[in-house]
Structures are given as structure tokens and as C-alpha cells.
């Protein structure tokens, strides 16, 4: 896709390479590496593993139960939060309060007092953040 | 601004407050399991726009130092590495704390961190200027060769899978291409999406890959915590006799940390493992390692703090970064319109001297904060993830949005968050991706400038001694993993090293 898009770019005057050479070269090299990895897999060779993860705990299972549905839920809520912020009529404050509340509930046990505490924290944090960024930093968070 | 001026400036009220705040925040996230100094620095980047470059750099270096050090607390009191580099401290720090000496374990670790950091400062100040003087004579072909060498070095040195590492680097390069080509002004690779005309800004990409991915990883492991051991200042003070007893271990481990720090992409975690193993092999009490050995704590903590100075050497002299935190630092310099690399010494000596001065003073501040504020920092371990994790997402969203006031960057951040998770699950290293993303525009600009000057001839790439040497090293690094594999295969299964360590059943 990148190769096709880059091929259509016009040349630049006095520039032997132009704007398309690097995207084409890198995409071809990437495709070649992908092919090499596929061939390795097909002949039964391992691709190896990164020695150390840069995101802590994503793959290292300990002696505790993992919660993939919670992790997926957190990611979905983040996408929902971004969607809510994109709708200007919703606004930063209600979107943030709702996001903090739902995430807080998702991450902890569903006990009545705890849910109330999470709700209080969500509203307070959203108000403070709204004031901080809208008034102090003059950021139009809408 | 000379180095002395930079030190004096650091002790003005605002600069000192920024630096102390940075160290305190760094130590705090070091204490919080899962959230790393790199995440904090990525989150802070958008807010540094309001600051001068000197303040921004000082803040980020202070966070870097604080973050590397803070992992000690959680490792010792909870047996969880607050930062990945504290993994070896978990083994012995926690055991010593369980034996009723948490202050002793923390005090030794803190003192070792100070020694490691201070020695690495010496290396940073002594090594950087001559290396930069050498690098400043580089032309576009040499600069291009350095970047190619850095990318291949990072892919081959730091991780087990060279092919995956190189793919990650190339993917990062591709992500940097959409938008306006700076040399010709031609808009490229937007696929008809208007928002892409400005390209992918590196900040939302970095925030997504590290902050969002980290939150998801933490949500996955919510129940992995342990009951923390209480800590106070008692035992935090280390005597001169302790320095005498552990002095050689501190120096040796620091030298290991400095050297490993200079190597792109290897980082503090590997440094602490190597220093720990070396200390164990040389110790008269190696049987105590793993059960609360003071030597072990000293080795691990000296080495991981010593990487902070070593890491800064290639960033400042060559403009190349290998790990997450150094990639963020590199990105921060670029975002503040500073050119990392040898020209930084010539064009922005105030930035270089600020980095030097902050690195040392931040270690002293870290030592004081950890000594006197240990009880307070230890309480941070009790903050529930239900509070921290959603707040990290909110700050990431604000940070990405604040860049250009457009929701597109939030989607970019989340999209790259998802990509980061998928790459990490496939054990594809992320560091080459970030390095490719940050350095690709410079690589392209340098080669194109060089070719325009040489009327399209590629020969200077091999004819100029430095460029040719670096490309030869890059070629050797490229070929070496395949040669190594071929030699192992030729030797057969008996020649292969054991995959799970030296212990065999019954052995």
C-alpha cells in the first residue's frame, strides 16, 4: 500500500532521491523481512523473543490470576472516552467523570461503599482537571 | 552558560523547585508498580511546552534519575520491581526487609544508587565532550551512517530476535513518513486523510505505545500485589565503614552500569543483572545471594543508577537512543527544537551543561528525598490501581490533545497503544520502533543532502573513512546474528547452550 502510494509521488528538483525513495525502500525492506520471517516459520525455525519487555507485566505471568477481560475493558473504555471527547456536545468534564467512574468500577470489587467512593473521586478529579487545564493552562478541552 | 553557571542556575528558586519536583515525581512513579519513569516522562512531555528548554530538560532528567531510583522501595518492601531495573533488588532487598531490616536494605540501596549515579556523572562529563568533538566533524554521509548503525545495533544487541528488532525499527521509520516532506514540501503518504498532512507526531505515538500499553498490562495483572512491609527512616543512614566494606563492589558495579548504559538498547535492567551476577561470582559469601545479601543489593542498585550517565552519552554526542526513557528524552529535545547530537554542544551548550548539572544534583536530591521521605513514598504503594490507571489514560489523552488541539491525535495515541500491546505480546521489541520513528527524518534528510552535494554519487558513503567504517560495522552487525545461528546449527544440538539455565534435573 505504502509502496503504491509512494510511487505516485512527483520527483523533487535537484534531489536525486526525492520524497518517494525512502518510503519505498523502507517498505520493500519491511516486506522482505516479513517474508524472511514467514520462511523461517515455515521451515520450523523460531523467530526469537525480545529479551526484555518494555511494557512491564504484559507477558510475564506470575502466580496470580490474570484478568484479560478487565484489560480489554479498560482499553475499550479508553476508546469510548476518546469517542466522547470527539463529540463536542458532551464536553470534557462529563466525559472524564464518566470515564473515571466506569474504569474505577471495572478495576475493583463491586461493593456499595466502594462504588460511592469511586463516584466521588471521579467527579472531584474531573472538576479539578477541568479547572486546571481550562483555566490555568487555557487548553480548550471542550 | 558554563557548567558552573548551570550549577548556579539550578540553585535558583524556580529551577530548584522544578528539579526537586521532577525527582519526587520520578521516585513516586518508581514506587508505583507498573508505571515507569518512561511513562511519566512521556506523560509530562506535552506540559513542558509551557517551559523553557532548560527547565524542560532539567525536569525530564530529574524524573529519569528519580524513576530509576524509586524502584528500590517497592522492590524492597513488596518484592515487586516498581521499575523493571529493580528486579534484582527484589531478590535480596525483600529478604533483608523481611528479616526486620527494611531500613538497612533501603539505606544500602539508596547509598549505592548515589555512588553509581555520581560515578556515571563523572563518565558523562569526561566522555561526552571529546566524543562530540569527534562527531562534529561528521558530514551528512557520516550522520546517515551513524543512524543506520544505531538502528542495526539496537536491533541486534538488545534483543534476542534480530529480525523482529529490525522490523520494529523499519515500522517506526515508516510511521514517520506521512505528512509534508520537509526537503521538497510535497505532501506524501496521507492516503487521502487530511489529518495526516501534519504527519504522526511522535508524542501521541510514544504515549500510546508506552502509557496506554502499560495501563492495559497493569489491568491484566491487578491481583499481583503483595502486602507491603512498613518502613521508616530507622536504619536508612549508612556509615563510613559500610562504604569501606562495599566500596569496591559499588565502584565495580557502577563501571558495569556505565558501560552497559552507553550501549544502545541494553539498559538498566541488564546492567543490574550483570552486576548482580558478577558480584555473586566474585563474592566470598555467594551462598547468601538471594536470601538478603547486602552485597547483592549494593551491586544491583549501583549498576542501575550508573546507567543513567552512560545512557546520556550517545544521546548527547551522537543523537541516538536505545531504550524507552532515552527515546523519550531524545524526543523531548527534538520537540523543543533542539538537535540532539554533536551540534548540541556547539549550538546549545546551556542545554548540555544543564543536563550535566541536573544529573548530579538530581542524584543528591534523590538521596535526600529517599532518606528523609521514605515513609511517605512507601505509602504510595497503597494507592489503588483503580485510581492510578484511569488517571494515566486521562493525562495521556490530555497530553495528546494539547499538542495541536485536535481529537485526531487522541485516536493516533490509542491506535498506537493497541499496536504497542500487539507488538509486545508478540515479543517484538519496542525500542527500535521508537528509535526508527525519531531518527528516520534525520536519516532521510542527511542522505538526501549528501547526495545533492555529491551530484547523486553514493561513493562517499564508502569512500569517506568514518562513514565507510560505520557502515562496515552496521553490515557486520547485520550479518553476525545469521552467522552465529549458522555456527550453532553446524555444531548441532550438543553445542547449544541450555535454554533454561545451568540446572539440569538431578543436577
ipTM comes to 0.87
Range of the domain at A6: 2-42
Q: Is residue A56 part of a domain?
A: no
For B188, phi and psi rounded to 5 degrees?
-135, 155
Q: Which residues of B fall within a CB distance of 8 Å from A81?
A: 393-394, 397
For residue B506, is it within any domain? no
Q: Is residue B469 part of a domain?
A: no
Does B385 reach chain A within 8 Å, measured CB to CB? Answer: yes
Residue B424: per-residue pLDDT: 82
Asked if B398 and A74 come within 8 Å (Cβ–Cβ), the reply is no
Average pLDDT over residues A127-131: 88
DSSP letter, residue B380: G
Record the pTM: 0.72
Q: Is B216 on the interface with A (CB under 8 A)?
A: yes
Smallest Cα–Cα separation from B298: which of B289, B309, B311?
B289
Range 21-50 of A in CB contact (< 8 A) with B: 22-23, 26-27, 29-30, 33-34, 36-37, 40, 47-50
Query: Quick one: angle between helices A112-130 and A92-107, nearest 10?
Result: 150
Asked if residue A106 belongs to a domain, the reply is: yes
Partner B contacted by A100 (CB < 8 A) = yes
Does residue A51 sit at the B interface (CB-CB below 8 Å)?
yes
Residue at A63 is within a domain: no
Give me the pLDDT at residue A77, please. 95
Judge if A31 and A74 occupy the same domain. Answer: no
- Residue B194: the pLDDT is 84
Encode burial over B418-443: b for 16+ CB neighbours within 10 A, e otherwise: bbbbebbeebbbbbbbbbbbbbbbbb
Shared domain check, A122 and A82: yes
Query: According to the model, what pLDDT value does residue B411 have?
Result: 93
Q: What is the DSSP string of B141-178?
A: HHHHHHHHHHHHHHHHHSSS-HHHHHHHHHHHHHHH-S
pLDDT at B501 (0 to 100): 35
Q: Helix crossing, B53-78 with B349-372: angle to 10°?
A: 30
DSSP percent split of chain B into helix, strand, coil, nearest 5: 75, 0, 25
Query: Does residue B206 lie within any of the structural domains?
Result: yes
Instruction: Report yes or no: B130 at the A interface, CB cutoff 8 Å.
Output: no
Compute the distance between CA of residue B391 and CA of residue A11 in angstroms, rounded to an integer: 47
DSSP assignment string, B279-296 = HHHH-TTGGGTTSS-HHH
Q: Is the pLDDT of residue A98 over 70?
A: yes
Output the CA–CA distances (angstroms, integers) from residue A89 to A93, A129, B393, in the order listed.
Answer: 11, 18, 21
Is residue A111 within 8 angstroms of chain B, CB to CB? Answer: no
Task: Check CB contact under 8 Å for A71 and B217.
Answer: yes
pLDDT of residue B34: 57
Domain count, chain B: 1
Judged by DSSP in three states, B188 sits in: strand
Neighbours of B392 (CB within 10 A): 23
Count how many pairs of residues, chain A against chain B, have C-beta atoms within 8 Å.
Answer: 238
Between the CA of residue B480 and those of A31, A35, B102, B474, B496, what are the distances in Å?
Answer: 21, 20, 46, 10, 17
Range of the domain at B129: 3-139+202-406
Per-residue pLDDT of chain B (507 residues; tens, 9 = 90+): 788 999 999 899 999 999 999 999 998 887 776 567 777 888 788 778 778 889 999 999 999 999 888 888 877 887 766 666 777 887 788 888 888 888 888 899 999 999 999 999 999 999 888 887 777 777 889 888 888 887 787 676 554 577 888 898 899 999 999 988 877 888 888 888 888 888 888 778 877 887 788 788 888 877 655 566 676 667 778 888 989 999 999 999 999 888 878 876 556 777 887 888 888 888 888 888 878 899 999 999 999 899 888 888 888 888 877 666 777 788 788 878 887 877 788 888 899 999 999 999 999 999 999 888 887 777 777 778 888 889 888 888 887 887 677 888 899 999 999 998 888 888 887 777 877 887 788 888 889 989 988 888 899 999 999 889 989 988 988 888 778 778 877 776 554 444 333 332 222
Q: Is residue B452 part of a domain?
A: no
The answer to the question of residue B370 being in a domain is yes
Largest CA distance in chain B: 72
> What cell does A106 get?
471495572
pLDDT attached to residue A13:
74
pLDDT at position A29 over 70:
yes
Collect all residues of chain A within an 8 Å Cβ-Cβ radius of residue B161: 47-50
- In a domain? residue B76: yes
Q: Per the domain annotation, does A94 fall within a domain?
A: yes
Which whole number is the average pLDDT over A20-27?
90
Cα separation, A85 vs A142, in Å, equals: 8
Q: Domain check: are A90 and A36 in the same one?
A: no
DSSP H helical ranges for chain A: 2-7, 21-42, 68-86, 92-107, 112-130
Q: What residues 143-202 of chain B have any CB closer than 8 A to a CB of chain A?
A: 158-167, 170-171, 173-174, 177, 181, 183-184, 186, 188-189, 191
Distance CA B3, CA B23 (A): 20
Same domain flag for A72 and A132: yes
Contact B342, B136 (CB under 8 A): yes
Q: Do A30 and B224 touch (CB under 8 A)?
A: no
Q: How confident is the model at residue A73 (pLDDT cuts 50, 70, 90)?
A: very high
The answer, for B98 touching chain A at a CB cutoff of 8 Å, is: no
A55 part of a folded domain: no
The pairing of strands B187-188 and B179-180 is: antiparallel
Give the model's pLDDT for residue B180.
86
> Would you say B108 and B297 are in contact if contact means Cβ atoms under 8 Å apart?
yes
**Average pLDDT score over chain A:** 81
Q: If contacts are CB pairs under 8 Å, which of residues 5-64 in chain B contact chain A? A: 33-34, 36, 38, 47, 50
For residue A58, is it within any domain?
no
Local confidence band at A126 (pLDDT 50, 70, 90 cut-offs) = very high
Amino acid at each position: 500500500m505504502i509502496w503504491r502510494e509512494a510511487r505516485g509521488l512527483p520527483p523533487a528538483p535537484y534531489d536525486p532521491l526525492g520524497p518517494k525513495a525512502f518510503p519505498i525502500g523502507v517498505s520493500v525492506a519491511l516486506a522482505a523481512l516479513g517474508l524472511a520471517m514467514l520462511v523461517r516459520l515455515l521451515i520450523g525455525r523460531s523467530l526469537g523473543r525480545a529479551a526484555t519487555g518494555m511494557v512491564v507485566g504484559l507477558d510475564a505471568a506470575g502466580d496470580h490470576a490474570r484478568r484479560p477481560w478487565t484489560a480489554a475493558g479498560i482499553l475499550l473504555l479508553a476508546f469510548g472516552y476518546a469517542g466522547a471527547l470527539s463529540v463536542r456536545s458532551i464536553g470534557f468534564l462529563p466525559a472524564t467523570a464518566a470515564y473515571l467512574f466506569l474504569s474505577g468500577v471495572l478495576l475493583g470489587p463491586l461493593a456499595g461503599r466502594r462504588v460511592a467512593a469511586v463516584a466521588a473521586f471521579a467527579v472531584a478529579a474531573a472538576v479539578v482537571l477541568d479547572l486546571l487545564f481550562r483555566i490555568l493552562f487555557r487548553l480548550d478541552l471542550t | 552558560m558554563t557548567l558552573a553557571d548551570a550549577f548556579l542556575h539550578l540553585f535558583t528558586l524556580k529551577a530548584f523547585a522544578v528539579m526537586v519536583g521532577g525527582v519526587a515525581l520520578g521516585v513516586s512513579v518508581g514506587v508505583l508498580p507498573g508505571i515507569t519513569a518512561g511513562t511519566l516522562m512521556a506523560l509530562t512531555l506535552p506540559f513542558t511546552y509551557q517551559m523553557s528548554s532548560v527547565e524542560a530538560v532539567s525536569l525530564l532528567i530529574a524524573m529519569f534519575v528519580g524513576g530509576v531510583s524509586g524502584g528500590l522501595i517497592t522492590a524492597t518492601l513488596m518484592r515487586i520491581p516498581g521499575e523493571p531495573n529493580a528486579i534484582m533488588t527484589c531478590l535480596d532487598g525483600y529478604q533483608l526487609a523481611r528479616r526486620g531490616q527494611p531500613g538497612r536494605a533501603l539505606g544500602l540501596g539508596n547509598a549505592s544508587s548515589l555512588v553509581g549515579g555520581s560515578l556515571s556523572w563523572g563518565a558523562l562529563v569526561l566522555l561526552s565532550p571529546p566524543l562530540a568533538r569527534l562527531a562534529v566533524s561528521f558530514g551528512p554521509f557520516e550522520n546517515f551512517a551513524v543512524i543506520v548503525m544505531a538502528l542495526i545495533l539496537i536491533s541486534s544487541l538488545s534483543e534476542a530476535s534480530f529480525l523482529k528488532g529490525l522490523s520494529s525499527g523499519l515500522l517506526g521509520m515508516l510511521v514517520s513518513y506521512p505528512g509534508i516532506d520537509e526537503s521538497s514540501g510535497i505532501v506524501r503518504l496521507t492516503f487521502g486523510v487530511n489529518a495526516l498532512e501534519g504527519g504522526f507526531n511522535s508524542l501521541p505515538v510514544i504515549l500510546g505505545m508506552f502509557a496506554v500499553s502499560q495501563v492495559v498490562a497493569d489491568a491484566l495483572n491487578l491481583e499481583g500485589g503483595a502486602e507491603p512491609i512498613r518502613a521508616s527512616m530507622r536504619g536508612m543512614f549508612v556509615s563510613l565503614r559500610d562504604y569501606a566494606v562495599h566500596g569496591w563492589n559499588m565502584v565495580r558495579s557502577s563501571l558495569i552500569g556505565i558501560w552497559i548504559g552507553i550501549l544502545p538498547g541494553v539498559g538498566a535492567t541488564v546492567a543490574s543483572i550483570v552486576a548482580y551476577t558478577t558480584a555473586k561470582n566474585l563474592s566470598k559469601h555467594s551462598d547468601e545471594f538471594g536470601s538478603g545479601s547486602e552485597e547483592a543489593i549494593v551491586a544491583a542498585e549501583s549498576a542501575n543508577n550508573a546507567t543513567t550517565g552512560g545512557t546520556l552519552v550517545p544521546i548527547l554526542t551522537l543523537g541516538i537512543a536505545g531504550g524507552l526513557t532515552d527515546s523519550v528524552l531524545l524526543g523531548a529535545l527534538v520537540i523543543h527544537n533542539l538537535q540532539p547530537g554533536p551540534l548540541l554542544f556547539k549550538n546549545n551548550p546551556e542545554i548540555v551543561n544543564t543536563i550535566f548539572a541536573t544529573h548530579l544534583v538530581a542524584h543528591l536530591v534523590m538521596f535526600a528525598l529517599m532518606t528523609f521521605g521514605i515513609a511517605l513514598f512507601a505509602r504510595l504503594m497503597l494507592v489503588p490501581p483503580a485510581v492510578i490507571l484511569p488517571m494515566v489514560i486521562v493525562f495521556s489523552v490530555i497530553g495528546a490533545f494539547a499538542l495541536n488541539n485536535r481529537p485526531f491525535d487522541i485516536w493516533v495515541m490509542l491506535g498506537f497503544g493497541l499496536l504497542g500491546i500487539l507488538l509486545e505480546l508478540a515479543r517484538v521489541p519496542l525500542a527500535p520502533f521508537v528509535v526508527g520513528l525519531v531518527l528516520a527524518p534525520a536519516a532521510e534528510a542527511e542522505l538526501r543532502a549528501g547526495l545533492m552535494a555529491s551530484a547523486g554519487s553514493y561513493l562517499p558513503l564508502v569512500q569517506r573513512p568514518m562513514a565507510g567504517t560505520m557502515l562496515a560495522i552496521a553490515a557486520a552487525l547485520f550479518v553476525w546474528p545469521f552467522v552465529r545461528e549458522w555456527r550453532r546449527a553446524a555444531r548441532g544440538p550438543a553445542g547449544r547452550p541450555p535454554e533454561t539455565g545451568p540446572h539440569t534435573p538431578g543436577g
